[in-house]
Structure 1
Amino acid sequence: MLVMVMSDTHGELDNLKSILPRIREINPDLVVHLGDNYEDAELLRDFPLLRVPGVYESYYSKPEVPNRIILNLSGWLSLLTHSHLRHENDLPWDPDPQDLVRRKAVDLIIHGHTHIPRAELIEGVVYINPGHMKKEDKKGYPPTFSLIEAEEELKVRIIELSGRVMLEKSFTRK
């Protein structure tokens, strides 16, 4: 299963618009937008799409909008969330990401919020952050998205808008 993930567009839609042809070319099985801003993902509605809101968005307090989604990606039990940590704006029924980690209830946490791209194994769980899609970011990282190939092995690429692969890692099931 091929999943394309992006996060933290913050209403700056030029970069998101610029990669629409690339999404069509890649033809992922699923496109994921991890919030900030929830409405920005409307540009992705022509693709198989899952999205969650950012922790400070008004959508985050709406019970009908899922703040966190747990799904199976080719055998990898995955959490889609804006923040990989519990947050004061979480609703009472939102799963606590770190509780899921402690209980070994997920294999993979795909999150945004920090704007820092990463793919790393911590305590038996793979954490993936695709980075951000803003024009500029005060943390010094260029706009990036992630491609995740989920099969027996998990292959993660974090890619700059120029097409340069910033990070590439593979993980095997625990």
Structure 2
Amino acid sequence: MRIAIVSDTHKSMSSIRKVCEKIERENPDLILHLGDVMEDADVMEAILGREVRRVPGNCDYAYGMNHALFIQVEKIGIYAVHGHEQGVKRSLRPLAGEAAGKGAKIALYGHTHVAREEDLGGVHLLNPGSAALPKNGQEKSMAFLKIRGKEFSFDIVPL
């Protein structure tokens, strides 16, 4: 299974179009939007003609909406959040602990606008970076996650 992961599109139509072009070329099985701005997932759905699963970010008004997704793909648990509630700008340990507590081997997050991948406490953490407003001199980016059985790999791709 292949999953497209995008975060922090911040209403940038040019970035949303680039993300959709990559998704159309790669044709993943699932698409996740990790917030900021969550309504951009609606725009992506209109362009792509398919569902975009999402979690709200700190710039989203999502009262009563679940701020995390847990998805079981084959034999891998995936925990997806925006990351502001877990304090990912200070430390990834709270997110890793929360994900492990849910039984996830992978935790996906955004919020920092910095693409990053690392292992912590038995959890593989991935931030796809920002599709619209990257920081630390990085390029605009998104990611693809490939899962086969108990094996997985990530590709952070520039837009």
Secondary structure of the structure 2 residue equivalent to 1:58: coil
Structure 1: tracts of 5 or more residues without a match: 88-95, 162-174
Structure with larger RCO (C-alpha < 8 A, sep 6+): 2
* Aligned counterpart for 2:156 among listed residues 158, 162, 167: 158
Which residue of structure 2 lines up, in the alignment, with residue 57 of structure 1?
60
* Aligned counterpart for 2:131 among listed residues 117, 130, 133: 133
Computing the radius of gyration over CA atoms, which structure comes out larger, 1 or 2?
1
TM-score by length of 1: 0.77
**Distance in 1 between residues matched to 2:100 and 2:75, nearest whole Å:** 19
Q: Deviations over 1:116-135 (max 9, x none)?
A: 1112111110001000011x
Q: How does 1:58-97 map to 2 (within 5 A)?
A: 58-59=61-62, 62-63=63-64, 65-83=65-83, 86=86, 97=95
**Distance in 1 between residues matched to 2:135 and 2:95, nearest whole Å:** 26
Query: How far off is 1:145 after superposition?
Result: 0.5
Instruction: Confirm whether residue 143 of structure 1 aligns to residue 140 of structure 2.
Output: yes
Code of the residue aligned with 1:55 in structure 2: it is N
Query: How far off is 1:110 after superposition?
Result: 0.5
**Distance in 2 between residues matched to 1:98 and 1:153, nearest whole Å:** 19
Superposition CA RMSD, Å: 2.0
TM-score by length of 2: 0.84
Cα pair 2:114 2:135 within 8 Å, conserved: no
For these two proteins, the number of residue pairs brought into alignment is: 149
Cα pair 1:15 1:133 within 8 Å, conserved: yes
**Distance in 2 between residues matched to 1:12 and 1:84, nearest whole Å:** 21
Which residue of structure 2 lines up, in the alignment, with residue 100 of structure 1?
98
Cα pair 1:5 1:31 within 8 Å, conserved: yes
Code of the residue aligned with 1:44 in structure 2: it is M
**Distance in 2 between residues matched to 1:86 and 1:137, nearest whole Å:** 20
Mean Cα deviation higher: 104-113 or 74-83: 104-113
Instruction: Confirm whether residue 28 of structure 1 aligns to residue 25 of structure 2.
Output: no
Which residue of structure 2 lines up, in the alignment, with residue 92 of structure 1?
none
